[in-house]
Amino acid sequence: MKPDVLGRVLGPGEPELTCEQCFEELDRYVELSVAGDPADARVPGMRAHLDGCPACAEDFASLRDLVTQEGD
């Protein structure tokens, strides 16, 4: 079975934030990511949630790209 489909169905399979917690931490996580800091270590559970939640992953990508664009 293709891993991407299996991944979408079964999710990350590790502790993750909720959508609400993800939104609360999103700005901090994005700035850490853009700065090259260890965002995943500083915000545990965020990476797993972004792997499991397509909507939050889109929100993350948009904020990261906007902040990156502003920094250019």
Interface residues with another protein (CB under 8 A) are 1-14, 16, 18-20, 23, 26-28, 30-31, 51-55, 58-59, 62-63, 65-67, 69-70
**HSE value, Cβ hemisphere, 13 Å, CA-based, for 69:** 6
Q: Which residues contact 52 (CB under 8 A, 6 or more apart)?
A: 11, 12, 16
How far apart are CB 58 and another protein at their closest, in Å? 6
Residue found by looking up tokens 């909507």 in the block: 55
Which is nearer to another protein, 19 or 44 (by Cβ)? Answer: 19
How far apart are CB 38 and another protein at their closest, in Å? 15
